[in-house]
Structure 1
Amino acid sequence: MKIKLLVALGFLSIVCFGFPPKEYSKKVQTVLSRHTVIYDKVPTRIPSRVAVDAPLLGNGYTAIALSGNPEKQIFRVARNDFWRFKSALDESYPTVLGKIILNVPQLEGASYQAIQDLFTATTTVTLSKGKTKLVYKAYVSAVDDVLVVEMTLQGDSSIEATVNLELPGADEIVNQPPLERVFPDEKGIKTEKEIETLWRGFEKDVDQKTIASIALRILQQNRNGKITLKPNQTVRFVCAFSSNFKSEDCVKSVNSKVSAISEKETKTIQAKHQNWWKTYWEKSFVDIQQFPEIEKQYYISLYGLASCSRDKDFPPSIFGSWITKERPDWNGDYHLNYNHEAPYYGLYSSNRIEQADPYYAPLLAIIPQGNLFSEKITGIKDGILLPVGIGPLNTDTVHQSPFLEQYFASWINNQTVEGGSCFWGQKSNAAYATVDISMQFYHTWDRAFTEKVYPFVFGVAKFWSEYLKFEDGRYVIYNDAIHEGTNGTKNPILSLGLVPMVMKTAIDMSTLLGKNEQERAKWQDIINKMSTYTFQEKNNKTVFRYSEKGTDWWDGNTLGIQHIYPAGQIGIYSDPKLLEISKNTIEVMGDRWFDSNGSNSFFPAAVRIGYDPEIILEKMKQYCLDMYPNGFRRGNPHGIENWSTVPNTINEMLCTGHQDVVRVFEGWNKKEDAEFGNIRVEGAFLVSSKLIKGEVQTVTIVSEQGRPLAFLNPWKAKKVSIKSNGKTQILSGEFIKMNTEKGVVYTINCVL
């Protein structure tokens, strides 16, 4: 990219914000108020081994899915840290903890409606039959690991109800041997002093003992779980949750917690809960109210991710934290050939780093195993090579075992199993896993984060720097696979995108930390001399070939454009010929906007290359109309990976820092008004702006780390004023470059 840049220096000594706090807070609440989530019928896709259609509650540690008929409401409970841990195929997975059952026999045949208020993260369920109406409000506290449910009866007469705990049963446990086995567990329920406690755990034939627990207490009228609901009176019950990873004795811990909760304390819990969510929503916002379906899915997605991703040691699985049936599909593991990475794509630009932080914990934990695979399979010492699936705590979820050898021998015969685990021929899993680490690094430039994750990035860079073959002046990839099982592929296009991304990230991280300077020249040489993409003709258009030798095309999925996104190797300032081929490929791939795997990469890839924003928005509207109320895609077996699609794409359209240039509304349809606040872009900048009738208003940029800033003048070559610390600079030009200071705000306006 050849850009003539003007240099401006800004000197500030105070920290301020892009919007006055009260105005910003009011704006966020106004936008969220447009989008309540309504369920007009009882969920039917639950329990399920895949994504459910139920109202979802959670705090990133404990998750609850609401289900059941009006007379028997079922709160299905799971936890991020409640797994069966065993490094063997089909023996490690997130598990079901238990159920909370609200029985109200007199409401059989009642109508059902659930309404979720996103701003307060509160779900209100109304059950109506004749003149009797039971309304209960429920939330899983974002601060205290407890569920609070308050029930109010409307009508002329009292009704009887019970609230009890229940262990997983035939509906939740899959028992279809020999392929679907049930493993021994330890479990029980007891009642003491009006507190009912449930526990479940795995201790036999596992790599790591686990146990989790629920304690239930009704705050009024408790008679062994029996309640008399009287008209216009409110009755509350509370549940506490924990595991052996959070407390030494989780059964004792949850009992102590619920016994200490009083009526008065529930008000404090609610206030803290709502304040956490208020703070969460104020991290950033977008206002695109002329696209209500898209805007709603944007915020439902962010609600879902906040509800399932906060435990820094145990990120959510493929289906989030809502495990409603034992042994979910794909064992609910962290699939590294995109499923584990995709849910987090939109969190970095949405400025929700706390929800993204859990992502990398299992990667750091499995480094020793990755080193072993690298040396055993390729002879590369200290490199990192990973199989297709992993779990928390150094768990290999696709490890070779007698079970695999007996029932999946074809995997071994077809060489999809290497070194004792399943790779499906793909050498790219660890490189793919670096994508999110790279995104968080460039969006934050956080040194502490970089220190934590650098060993993983270094190991992946080490593997590829020795695995690549240097031939005829270029680096070549042999014996890789573009799609699962396409063994032996030469130069698969995904790896051609991922490897330079890994090398650049390694260079910048090592420079920031002052480590491994001697390695940087090799890493840079790989970037400079990596094999180029290969092409082919389809539908009279030149498009990318999936590999130089081997698989040329695929009728599903979106691997043909993932070198664009998430690998990030092509953008608006790339070679015009590459951009043309990229657009051709998007067109020839057809309706993969709605691909069951790859929508989360297809939409942002289209934005990155400057594809027509009107088409992108129209396709996204169709995409959003095909959702369950909770934001999961209808008919799609996958889960939270689809929650990145809308936030990530919309943020990228409104504001991006890709290729080290901050651009506002360049990917947006300028005919449509829009506003955003605190979108985070590469370089650790928080950007806010507004578009009215095609005209960009004030642009506010917060420099979080004081890094150099380059931005595209949104008013073309007109003069701009840059205000900071009471000083103003007047500059002009299409592109402007300036040094910034840490914690300083720069306010940019067009000079008429």
Structure 2
Amino acid sequence: MKHTTIIRERPKRSGKHSTPDGAICGNGDIGVILGEHKNGMTCHISKADFWLAGEDGQSDGGIKPVGMLNFDIPHRLYENYYVEQRMDEGEIFCRFSDGKDYAEFLIFVSHKTRCVWIKSEFSENIPFKLPEFIPADIKGESLRKDENDGALFYKMKFSGDNLVFDTEMNVAVRNIDSDRGNICVISLDSSFDKKSDLSRIKEYNEETYDRERDDNRAWWKKFYEKSSFTSSDEFLEMNWYASQYLLAVCALNTDFPPGLYGNFITVNRVNWKGDYHLNYNYQGSFYGACSSNHTELTDCYSAPIFDMRERGRQFAERFLNQHGVFYPVGIGPKGMLTERCDDVWEKMFLGQRSNAIHSTDIMIMRWYATYDKEYAQKIYPFFLDVAAFWEGYLVNRDGIYNVVGDAVHEIPYYKDGFDPKEYDEKIHEENNLLSLGLLRMFFKCLIDISRELDRDSVRREKWQDIVDNLHEFPTFEKNGKEVFRYTSKGTDWNDSNGLCIQHIYPCGQIGLSSDSKTLEISRNTFFTNDRWDDGNAGCSIFPCSARIGLDPKLIIKRMKQNFDKFQLPNMLFLHGGGCLENSSIACTTLNEMVLQSYEGIIRFFPVWDRDIDCSFRDLRADGAFLVSASVKDGKIDGIKILSEKGRKIRIENPFEKAEVSPDGKIFVTDESIIETETGVGSVIYIKEK
């Protein structure tokens, strides 16, 4: 199946402050988004590291667009809008035609040279006007334009004592004659890049274009070779690949990861400054990366979190008299705050204490998926800071650890005339479900990493005591059924969000190995909450439905309904919250439906509709295993497991009797759980006997 999105609707949202709807391509750093102007097509260009690092409540701070190119296209052609977002090749193809005349474009971003390439071809009867690069309208900032040997050079800069860091963007633009058309190349170089010689753009020609196009296609081919997902249901397969594509086009700058709107920036001021929202949005974009075997897309994830450590320590001591780190809701890159409020500090935190620990969840997923000790050493110092905060902040009452004064929902301290008395109950909430789930997930992982690295053995007793004696997940009766209560003291329920299930996903504290009573409460909670069409938390709600074993036909039906309601032509989503995090819904949920491993047991197709044929290759399971399998005509087949680290493996037997072949040895078992040792590089095959 070719994974190409056909777009026949002209872009309507390129001037909006949130999610654009035009076709997208990118190289993980530079993004191109199609829009339109009064005479035809616009190519918006953005870059992950082009930030105005202003704090102090500056409304103009945040990630910025670099500029755009306008292409004039006769209306009689342009009204026949046809665009292909070619996800397999990482490019955009456009053809506008009235059946007689045409205008065609092929657009991609090079992974080698930080260049945007736009090749255009017009029929002989159509006049062609060279596109002009229009720098973004960024008021009050320096802009310089020079011309040299047919190339245009632009320099844009944000600088000043009021900024956390200075940013400079250099842009070179050149038009190259081509048969019946033109090739426009735009080279970008920021102050954070390894310097390149932009003047080399004068040497580029049509052969350069051909070579860059072939290299780009080869890069995407290699990217998709890391894993695959095929299904007889084309909707499911297409959206699984869209999840991979939309993260890959914006998540390869290791110092500037994608925020709320990735590098899909078309206007000077996007909502929430396009920041890293730590109370779920930022993390949500990466939920499916590790299970899809694209851990490289999480290389960038920790950069802004680590860069905030020093300020996080200051906040913990200054505001809560604690050791460790205390993080606000929204942060930017390189230690930048996107909402600095010196008058009322809670405007940065909104009553929540869990943002730093919440930011560890992708790191935890990656650790269990890879058991990479180098990565563990990288994240461990930050984990110690998080642990230090909670060791001091938790309140021990009669041997039970309680989370006190940590709001489950944001408290609107930013509102004019905010009256704390009105929110007194929320300000003093105790034991919210999310924080309890995060704490269990975090301290279990910290103990595991500490053992693997042979570090801090004397502290493990305290950490284990927290795990063993943390307040239980609160419950109460609603509509005649026992459900999880949002907090043990304070908010009992809220019909307008999905925070009552996030201790299940992403925290992973309840699943198919849980006792029947816990699963019953989980399912009661899920259906009572009924947030299939949630405007914020879809990236948690759908994978949660698989974790607790809901009817797979229902999951797929409701996923299709959600996507029909919220998905834009370019496969992004227009929800009430951010943007990019919802692109993870498909791959995260489908991965959970065909392969689960988070409880130390690998399960094949545990929540799958067996009427749908499906196969996957090299999905990543906890324990550092690469797993492949298929289901056809309702029967599981083709099971292959590669052990990267040589760890012991436990598998839920998918057959009444299974033939297991680890490293060429064969044994037959009818045990419900198959256990066997593995070596580094071991391959295990399993088939029905």
AA of the residue aligned to 1:559: L
Matched pairs, number: 672
Q: Give the deviation of 1:130 after TM superposition.
A: 6.2
Contact 1:98 1:198 in 2 (8 A): no
Task: Please state how far the C-alpha of 1:479 moved relative to its aligned partner.
Answer: 0.7
Change (3 A) 1:637 1:424: closer
Paired with 2:617 and 2:504, the residues of 1 have a C-alpha distance of 26
1:146 corresponds to: 115
- 3-state DSSP of counterpart to 2:350: coil
Tell me the distance in 1 between the aligned counterparts of 2:576 and 2:491.
26
Residue 460 (1) aligns with residue 407 (2):
no
Is the Cα–Cα contact under 8 Å of residues 288 and 673 in structure 1 kept in the other structure?
yes
Residue by residue, what CA displacement relative to the aligned partner does 1:44-72 show, whole Å, maximum 9, x if unpaired?
11122100111111111111111115843
Secondary structure of 1:279 counterpart = helix
Q: Give runs of aligned pairs for residues 520-531 of structure 1, distance below 5 A.
A: 520-531=460-471
For 2:103 and 2:427, locate their aligned partners in 1 and report how far apart those are by CA, in whole Å: 59
Q: Deviations over 1:84-109 (max 9, x none)?
A: 11333345310121112223468676
Cα pair distance change 1:743/1:723, threshold 3 Å? closer
| 1:213 equivalenced with 2:170 (yes/no) | yes
Structure 2 counterparts to residues 728-747 of structure 1, below 5 A: 728-747=666-685
Aligned partner of 2:660 among 711, 714, 721 = 721
CA distance in 2, matches of 1:720, 1:367: 51
For residues 322 and 398 of structure 1, the distance between their equivalents in structure 2, rounded to whole angstroms, comes to 22
d(CA) in 2 for partners of 1:186, 1:247: 22
1:624-639 → structure 2 map (5 Å cutoff) = 624-626=563-565, 627-634=567-574, 636=576, 638-639=578-579
3-state SS of 2:249 partner: helix
1:355 to 297, 303, 311: 297
| Of 182, 187, 202, the match for 1:240 | 187
> In 1, Cα distance between the equivalents of 2:572 and 2:381?
35
Instruction: Check the 8 A contact 1:51/1:637 in 2, yes or no.
Output: no
Determine what percentage of the aligned residue pairs are the same residue.
Answer: 33
Alignment partners' CA distance in 1, 2:281 and 2:433: 19
Counterpart for residue 400 of structure 1: 341
CA distance in 2, matches of 1:110, 1:589: 44
**Which structure 2 residues correspond to residues 69-218 of structure 1 after superposition, within 5 A?**
69=37, 71-90=39-58, 92-104=61-73, 110-129=79-98, 131-154=100-123, 156-157=124-125, 159-169=127-137, 184-204=140-160, 205-218=162-175
User: C-alpha displacement at 1:370, in angstroms?
Assistant: 1.1
Find the counterpart in structure 2 of residue 434 from structure 1.
360
The equivalences for 1:634-645 within 5 A come to: 634=574, 636=576, 638-645=578-585
Q: Secondary structure at the match of 2:666?
A: strand
> Is the 8 Å Cα contact of residues 143 and 276 (structure 1) preserved in structure 2?
no
Letter in 1 for 2:330: G
Give the C-alpha shift of residue 678 in structure 1: 0.8
1:323 shift after superposition: 1.2
In the alignment, the residues of structure 2 paired with residue 399 and residue 425 of structure 1 have an alpha-carbon distance, to the nearest angstrom, of: 15
Per-residue displacement from partner, 1:563-611 (whole Å, max 9, x unpaired)? 1111111111112111100000011011x11111111101111111111
Which residue in 2 is equivalent to 1:177?
none
Structure 2 equivalent of residue 255 of structure 1: 198
> Counterpart in 1 of 2:260?
318
**Superposed, which structure 2 residues align to 1:560-599 within 5 Å?**
560-590=500-530, 592-599=531-538
Counterpart code for 2:348: C
Query: Which residue in 1 is equivalent to 2:349?
Result: 423
Equivalent position of 2:541 in the other structure: 602
Q: Tell me the amino acid that sits aligned with residue 491 of structure 1.
A: N
Cα distance in structure 2, aligned partners of 1:106 and 1:640: 33
Please name the residue that 2:612 is paired with.
Answer: 672
The root-mean-square deviation of aligned C-alpha atoms, in Å, is 1.8
Secondary structure in structure 2 of the residue aligned to 1:727: coil
What's the secondary structure of 1:238's corresponding residue? strand
- How far does residue 723 in structure 1 lie from its aligned partner after superposition? 4.1
Seen in structure 2, the aligned counterparts of structure 1 residues 70 and 459 have a Cα distance that, compared at 3 Å, is same
- Structure 1 distance, partners of 2:305, 2:564, is 35
| 3-state secondary structure, aligned to 1:697 | strand
Q: Which amino acid aligns with 2:386?
A: V
User: In the alignment, is the contact (CA less than 8 A) between 2:285 and 2:584 conserved in 1?
Assistant: yes
| Residue correspondence of structure 1 range 218-237 to structure 2 within 5 A | 218-220=175-177, 233-237=180-184
Contact 2:77/2:96, CA 8 A, preserved across alignment: no
Amino acid at match of 1:367: R
CA shift, 1:728, in A, is 2.8
Classify 1:706/1:635 alpha carbon distance in 2 versus 1 (closer, same or farther; 3 Å). closer
- Contact persistence 1:97–1:213 (CA under 8 A): no
What's 1:374 paired with?
Answer: 316
CA distance in structure 2 between the aligned counterparts of 1:493 and 1:635, rounded to whole angstroms: 24
Mark the runs of 5 or more structure 1 residues left unpaired by the alignment. 1-30, 174-181, 222-231, 406-411
Encode CA deviations 1:467-488: one digit per residue, 9 max, x unaligned: 1111122111111100001321
Counterpart residue identity of residue 368, structure 2: Y
Structure 2: distance between partners of 1:513 and 1:587: 42
Deviates more, 1:432-441 or 1:124-133: 124-133
**Judging changes above 3 Å, is the alpha-carbon distance between structure 1 residues 447 and 479 closer, same or farther for their aligned structure 2 residues?**
same
CA distance 1:293–1:490, shift in 2 (3 Å): same
Q: Hey, what's the Cα distance between the residues in 1 that align with 2:651 and 2:500?
A: 30
The residue type equivalent to 1:617 in the other structure is I
Distance (Å, rounded) in 2 between the aligned partners of 1:338 and 1:553: 19
CA deviations 1:294-349 (Å, max 9, x no partner) are: 32222112111110111111001101111111221111110100011000001111
CA distance in 2 between counterparts of 1:704 and 1:279 reads 20
Query: Measured at CA, do residues 556 and 257 of structure 1 come closer, stay the same or move farther in structure 2, by a change above 3 Å?
Result: farther
Give the gaps of 5 or more residues in structure 2.
Answer: 412-425
Please report how far the alpha carbon of residue 681 of structure 1 lies from its aligned counterpart in structure 2 after TM superposition. 1.2
Per the alignment, residue 422 of structure 2 pairs with none
Following superposition, the deviation at residue 709 of structure 1 comes to 0.7
2:418 corresponds to:
none
| Deviation of 1:234 (Å) | 4.3
Equivalent of 1:391 in 332, 338, 344: 332
- What is the alpha-carbon distance in structure 1 between the residues aligned to residue 151 and residue 76 of structure 2? 26
Partner SS state of residue 308, structure 1: coil
C-alpha contact 1:561 1:602 (8 A) present in aligned 2: yes
Distance 2:78 2:244 in 1: 34
Q: Is the 8 A contact 1:294 1:620 kept in 2?
A: no
Cα 1:307/1:202, change in 2 over 3 Å: same
Q: What letter corresponds to residue 532 of structure 2 in structure 1?
A: W
Q: 2:6 aligns with which of 27, 32, 38?
A: 38
Q: Report SS of the residue matched to 2:147.
A: strand
User: Given the superposition, is the C-alpha separation of residues 701 and 63 from structure 1 closer, same or farther in structure 2, using an over 3 Å criterion?
Assistant: same
- The answer as to 2:15 corresponding to 1:47 is yes
Give the superposition deviation at 1:720.
1.7
Deviation at 1:635, TM superposition (A): 5.5
Cα distance change of structure 1 residues 660 and 76 upon mapping to structure 2, 3 Å threshold: same
Contact kept in structure 1, 2:24 and 2:85, CA below 8 Å: no
Q: 640, 650, 661: which one pairs with 2:601?
A: 661
| Equivalent position to 2:225, from 282, 290, 293 | 282
Report the 3-state secondary structure (helix = DSSP H, G, I; strand = E; otherwise coil) of the residue aligned with 1:702: strand
Please name the residue that 1:26 is paired with: none
Structure 1, 691-700 or 384-393: larger mean CA deviation? 691-700
Task: Please give the alpha-carbon distance, in whole angstroms, between the structure 1 residues aligned to 2:197 and 2:44.
Answer: 17
